[in-house]
């Protein structure tokens, strides 16, 4: 089955700086890569996703890049704000097989 690895496990950044989280996946057939944000005690919230026919996608301060050859994808958060503090999970899914395989998560702390 699909194996997703996520790095780093924790990330502390100064407010206004950028944060980057990287994930690798094992199955080259995976074609859907969502990112979720989970605040303490709350549900995972979909923040951005990318499909394998696209190399990059941006939504305001967040962007995701995908390198299919290397089988890795990354989340970039620019101009970080305290409300960006949360656990972020990457995930991967096979085409026509919609179950998600998640990474272990990255705890992001934005220092004011």
Partner 1 sequence: DTGVSQDPRHKITKRGQNVTFRCDPISEHNRLYWYRQTLGQGPEFLTYFQNEAQLEKSRLLSDRFSAERPKGSFSTLEIQRTEQGDSAMYLCASSPGTGGYEQYFGPGTRLTVT
Q: What is the Cα–Cα distance from 71 to 60, expressed in whole angstroms?
A: 25
Contacting residue, 45, 54, 55, 58, with partner 1 by CB under 8 A: 45
Site string (77-106) toward partner 1, x via CB under 8 A: ------------x-x-x---xxxxxxxxx-
Contacting residue, 29, 51, 56, 61, with partner 1 by CB under 8 A: 51
Residue placing its CB nearer to partner 1 in the complex, 50 or 110: 50
Query: DSSP labels for 14-57?
Result: ETTS-EEEEEEES-TTEEEEEEEEE-TTS--EEEEEEETT-SEE
CB 84 within 8 A of CB 19: yes
Residues forming contacts to partner 1 in the complex (CB under 8 A) are 4, 6, 32, 34, 36, 42-46, 49, 51, 89, 91, 93, 97-105
């Amino acid at each position: 089955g699909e194996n997703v690895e996520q790095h780093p496990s924790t990330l502390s950044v100064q407010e206004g700086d950028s944060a980057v989280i990287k994930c690798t996946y094992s199955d080259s057939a995976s074609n859907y890569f969502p990112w979720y944000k989970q605040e303490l005690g709350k549900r995972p919230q979909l923040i951005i996703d990318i499909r394998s026919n696209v190399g990059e996608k941006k939504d305001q301060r967040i962007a995701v890049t995908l390198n299919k050859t290397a089988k890795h994808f990354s989340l970039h958060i620019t101009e970080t704000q305290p409300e960006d503090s949360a656990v972020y999970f990457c995930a991967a899914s096979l085409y026509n097989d919609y179950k998600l395989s998640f990474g272990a998560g990255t705890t992001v702390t934005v220092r004011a």
